[in-house]
Structure 1
Amino acid sequence: MCGFIGELRNNGIDAIESTEWYRALEAIHHRGPDATGLYKDENIQLGFKRLSIIDLENGHQPFSLQNRYHLIFNGEIYNYIELRQDLITQGYTFETDSDTEVLLNLYISKGKECVKELRGMFSFAVWDKKEKTLFAARDPFGIKPFYYHESPERLFFASELKSIDAYKSQGNISAEALQHYLTYQYVPEPLCLQKDIKKLLPGHFLNKKPDEALEIGCFYKKTFHPVKSALGDNTVKIKRALEDSVEKHMRSDVPVGAFLSSGIDSTAIVALAKKFNPDLKTFTVGFEHKGFSEIEIAKDTADKLNVENINKIITPYEFIEELPNIIRHMDDPVADPAAVPLYFVAKEASKHVKVVLSGEGADELFGGYNIYREPLALSWFNLMPYGFKSFIHNKALRLPSGLKGKNYFLRGTTPLSERYIGNANLLSEAEKKELLNGYEFTSPFTKITAEFYKEAESLDDTLKMQYIDLHTWLPGDILVKADRMTMAHSIELRVPFLDKEVFQIARELPTNHKISRGTTKYVLREAVKEFIPESVLHRKKLGFPVPIRHWLREELYDWARSVIRHSPTDYLFKKEYVLTLLDEHASGKEDHSRKIWAVICFMIWHSVYIEKEPYGNHLNKTADL
């Protein structure tokens, strides 16, 4: 829902808005095509693009009260009805039915403490004209984005990086951010690829007055605190919390649909949503390549749940045709191939609804990734003396590449903090030294996760892995592509699993309730088994599979080679190394697909944001598609 920009000047705002200001606002038109709003005084100017979801006639922004407080807000407050009633009992009156007015009144009532009462996804800023104070905050999970750029003259902030880029083009690439991107496949927060632009971290706020230092603080800390409990009790709690969360996430004055894949997460959301909307529409995409389509499974699930399913097959040529636009919408590149089907399923959904529900977050909260079972498989290595473990590690290093068992012994003899950094781990430090012209020895991948491992020191290894993903992979990859790919088509994505009340239960679950009986998310499966089809309950997770590995060997090989050769990024990369990876991949010698894809995504990003080539299409035109 919506997008905003804002500028707080230390020396006052010019009387006439600049062309760059309007260009920055129009850069996020896709986030809110229904209405445009502006506010300006001697210190600040605020711009807003609205996607009307609740109280369609009212709730326009910037929203102002008492000729003093001015709010721009992106997101939804799902408990706004309950908060509104509490405020009425305190004597507050309301002129609209919007959650926007509730949020601003809550701020007037409680100041910055208001964020602790919010249940929802949000990124907002309030300007107090009398006190000349800007207060901004981002939701605990980072569902909604908040970028900012500070200089001696101003603080500029926006829902998307492209607005800052349009207003004051930076053009300087952060070597540290690029180095981390090549490992993580996204740029870890608060970094951005462009220097001096940052992201406000999830669960954080900022305060700023003209000519005073920027203050940033944390209002919500996500932690795991397992409590000994009965499995049956937890399944009941989870079921009740999910039902309540979905019911509140269905609050809307426009049609709500849902994405449907082959797994239990989206299926559970759809099954619960149908209780509140029997005419629910669901959406699925897939590929022609065998083993890379969830359409037939999703159609079968939809039939069993008695909901409509709308689906689409994506060709490799459509995939490449839209890729520059996808990367432009992403702000910083996210080399997760699943972003592309998400873009297409959102495009299909936008023809029918303005809001969609999705299952993001279930894996991080309930232990859904297969890698979370690894500590059990490697537990016997913990019995080894350090010296013997080191001996085994060195022996394993000398084994031929690809030999069965080599990776197992290497992982078992490597500390968790050095081997697990999240779901993606693309290029090693040695490989980045080979690839980059300017490798920074002061920025190893562990620089991002070291503090999180310190915070999770008392947890078991599986919970440590969840903790890492909750603070890195989830906001950096999963939620970035979820927000950008849906907002690209002006629809709002809602994620009922990422709800404070659901998380409160998930954070106290013991590990053996999640990783149990040879499966993942065991307690979640038990909680939803009464209302989802048996065929889905224990199905292996696919999660928008994309045949990148096959395409880079076949249909897209020439295209990939052409992009690499023609991209003017020689000052960053040793291209012969990338071309060698591509040829080794094409020959079947190694699977380098994810590494190659990360470099290609960056090159297209470079063409859009650094070379300023519209949509990067000049790279596509160099290859025969």
Structure 2
Amino acid sequence: MCGITGFINDSMGADEKRPILTKMMDAIKHRGPDSGGQVVDENVAIGMRRLSIIDVHEGKQPIFNEDKSKVITFNGEIYNFQELRDELVAAGHEFTTHTDTEVILHGYEEYGTDILKKLRGMFAFVIYDFKTKELFGARDPFGIKPFYYTQMGDTFMYGSEIKSFLRHPGFKKELNKQALKPFMTFQYSALNETFFKGVYKLKEGHYFIYRDGTMDIHQYFDYKAQPSNESLGEITDEIDNAVVESVKAHSITDKEVKTGAFLSSGVDSSYVASVLKPHTTYSVGFDRGKVNEINDAEDLAKELGTNMKSETIDANDAFSHFAQIQYFLDEPDSNFSCIPLFFLSKLAAKDVKVVMSGEGADELFGGYQAYGFWTKSRMIRLIAEALKKLPRKARKKIADSIRDKNFHGKAHLYTSIAPAEDFFIGDSRVFEPEEATEFLQADYQDAPTIQQIIGPTYEKVEDQTAEIRKMQYLDLHHFMPGDILLKADKMTMAASLEARVPILDVEVAKVSEKVPTKYMINSKNTKYAFRQAAKRHLPKEWYNREKLGFPTPIRDWLHEEKYYKIVRNEFSQDYVKEFFKQDKLLKMLDDYYDGKNDSRKQIWNVYTFLTWYKVYFINDGEKPAVEEI
């Protein structure tokens, strides 16, 4: 696990490139504090920071092929690298390390871009060919590891984190004005172009070839739902076999590298931990609010026979570190769970270099409430299941007839039968676009619409008869890589910790593609078949538990005078007028404090953006200190 960064420039000499590359590498040292390496010539500057996990002593990067005509830097883990290594040795390739990194390099020599279809893991890497002056790079199928790129003048830059670009003298830092309005709706950076003008994300499951100033991007992987007619017992067997095998595959490290597991009260992390049975599990909770997951996590840790370490967070902790959290994220993300994940990662990093977590289960197996599971009424659930069996036109007609009505169970019925593209954009929806327009200044009102952002994705699965499969596909290409996986990577790497997500694995995904939709969400629960598989390892109170997702007491904090004043002070700053109609912001906040609205998500969304903007544009992207609150 590490961080990669570099650039291509023909007009700059090698001696001029080296100090620039070193500064870029230093900006992401938290991703790889163990060592750094670089290769620089008249054309290219390639750098990396390493967190040593496999071949700890000999596996330093960059790594060259046999004749030193190609070099690789790599961020991630390849879990089937040993079998691929055997294939490549048999084909005549000579290895100088026992790393998974070198397997990718020789695999590219042997198979070309088809090596990507053989890799099982999480990755972002580049391979440079000194003979052709061609840069080949790729990102894993689900976007577990990040990859950014930009062309600024005569310089092409790439890296694991945008903050490394800021250290290059040729980087022109400019806010992408079109990113703000979608962020206010989606809660994360929803465009392929980031909040930094001209900086883009390489999409999940894509690779690129850059040569002579031209970047060609190609897709090599996509998720394709093909539900089978298998029985519940058969599909449950396949899910459990896949998860157990994946946890085992993801357990590979050098002997001296310790692995732990995150543990909440939910089924996903509990399932992973129950299979892994690590020496230590980790959890965090809050000192107030209705839900604190520590007690439940401690109870499960006792059941599993693992050591449990936990930490309680208060509002002072959250607000004093919030600027740092946004710094590490690179782009603003108002998902409340960024806060507990930041502290959870710091806690685990005191003991281990690797943790396993439960990301991916909701997207692969149908776990979100927003997929159509909004009521505890058994009767309404049964009615919804019956309506799902109607032809698509009949379902849409009923959905349209109840859309604007208000009655008990309406949300459950509507989201169960309405066309997904009519209402679903992901697990979170903060500001409605019209509402965002009312708050924004004129220069920020012009932005891509919801339809322009997610419409092309829906078009790829318009033939799916099950609406949940459309929603699942959308999340796999938007919410998961843009929010869930991004915060998982950035928050863990902020603590120099590698997070592995064994449920989000290509082999587990193959099973997910086959799950009959009636075993995803039904009248009994969300991700029903997945829970039946987890049942084989967990007590009922865990495998059947409602999803919580790191509950964070923002509601309580913003009703306390101390923290309300912190946010109000930020909303009152002069620079806020550049983006927002300040009087409307302050009224929304004041009304919330007085109990006149429930706009905590909207308030936190704006506060998040302003905090991020202050870090990267007012304070020039320097890592902020922990504030005294």
Q: Same fold (TM over 0.5)?
A: yes
SS in 2 for 1:431: helix
**What is the rounded CA distance, in whole Å, between the counterparts of 2:251 and 2:86 in structure 1?**
19
**What is the rounded CA distance, in whole Å, between the counterparts of 1:187 and 1:296 in structure 2?**
34
Distance 1:414 1:264, change over 3 A: closer
Decide which moves more: 161-170 or 309-318. 161-170
TM-aligned CA deviation for residue 13 of structure 1: 4.1
Distance 1:409 1:69, change over 3 A: closer
SS in 1 for 2:352: coil
Letter in 2 for 1:183: T
Work out whether 1:562 is the aligned partner of 2:569: yes
What is the aligned partner in structure 2 of residue 483 from structure 1? 489
Work out whether 1:258 is the aligned partner of 2:256: no
Q: How does 1:215-614 map to 2 (within 5 A)?
A: 215-253=216-254, 254-274=257-277, 277=278, 280-374=279-373, 379=387, 396=405, 415-437=419-441, 438-441=443-446, 443-459=448-464, 460-554=466-560, 555-566=562-573, 568-612=575-619
Contact 2:72 2:128 in 1 (8 A): yes
Distance 1:75 1:409, change over 3 A: closer
**What is the rounded CA distance, in whole Å, between the counterparts of 1:591 and 1:200 in structure 2?**
36
Decide which moves more: 257-266 or 450-459. 450-459
Q: Deviations over 1:287-308 (max 9, x none)?
A: 0114231000000000001111
Work out whether 1:53 is the aligned partner of 2:53: yes
Q: Deviations over 1:561-593 (max 9, x none)?
A: 111112613111111111111122112222101
Distance 1:527 1:315, change over 3 A: same
Q: Deviations over 1:340-370 (max 9, x none)?
A: 1000010000000000000000000011112
Distance 1:443 1:490, change over 3 A: same
Gapped regions of structure 1 (runs ≥ 5): none
What is the aligned partner in structure 1 of residue 378 from structure 2? none
Letter in 1 for 2:530: L
Contact 1:366 1:514 in 2 (8 A): yes
Q: Deviations over 1:453-496 (max 9, x none)?
A: 11111221111111111111100110011000000010100000
SS in 2 for 1:556: helix
Letter in 1 for 2:512: A
Contact 1:367 1:520 in 2 (8 A): yes
TM-aligned CA deviation for residue 446 of structure 1: 2.0
Letter in 1 for 2:194: C
Match of 1:192 among 174, 191, 194: 194
Letter in 2 for 1:419: F
Decide which moves more: 481-490 or 148-157. 148-157
Distance 1:99 1:18, change over 3 A: closer
**What is the rounded CA distance, in whole Å, between the counterparts of 1:537 and 1:185 in structure 2?**
29
Distance 1:408 1:252, change over 3 A: closer
RMSD: 2.4
Work out whether 1:5 is the aligned partner of 2:17: no
SS in 1 for 2:25: helix
Work out whether 1:84 is the aligned partner of 2:91: no
What is the aligned partner in structure 2 of residue 96 from structure 1? 97
SS in 1 for 2:514: coil
Decide which moves more: 93-102 or 427-436. 93-102
Distance 1:258 1:62, change over 3 A: same
Contact 1:582 1:596 in 2 (8 A): yes
**What is the rounded CA distance, in whole Å, between the counterparts of 1:3 and 1:43 in structure 2?**
21
Q: Deviations over 1:111-152 (max 9, x none)?
A: 111111000000000001112111000000000010001134
Q: Deviations over 1:9-44 (max 9, x none)?
A: 244544323644322211100000000101012211
Contact 1:567 1:603 in 2 (8 A): no
TM-aligned CA deviation for residue 92 of structure 1: 2.0
Contact 1:138 1:203 in 2 (8 A): yes
TM-aligned CA deviation for residue 263 of structure 1: 1.0
**What is the rounded CA distance, in whole Å, between the counterparts of 1:576 and 1:241 in structure 2?**
54
Letter in 2 for 1:478: I
**What is the rounded CA distance, in whole Å, between the counterparts of 2:27 and 2:21 in structure 1?**
10
**What is the rounded CA distance, in whole Å, between the counterparts of 1:74 and 1:385 in structure 2?**
46
Q: Deviations over 1:27-72 (max 9, x none)?
A: 1000000001010122111011000000111111111122111100
Q: How does 1:612-623 map to 2 (within 5 A)?
A: 612=619
Contact 1:607 1:616 in 2 (8 A): no
**What is the rounded CA distance, in whole Å, between the counterparts of 2:300 and 2:241 in structure 1?**
23
SS in 1 for 2:586: helix
Letter in 2 for 1:33: P
TM-aligned CA deviation for residue 619 of structure 1: 12
**What is the rounded CA distance, in whole Å, between the counterparts of 1:605 and 1:170 in structure 2?**
18
Gapped regions of structure 2 (runs ≥ 5): 375-380
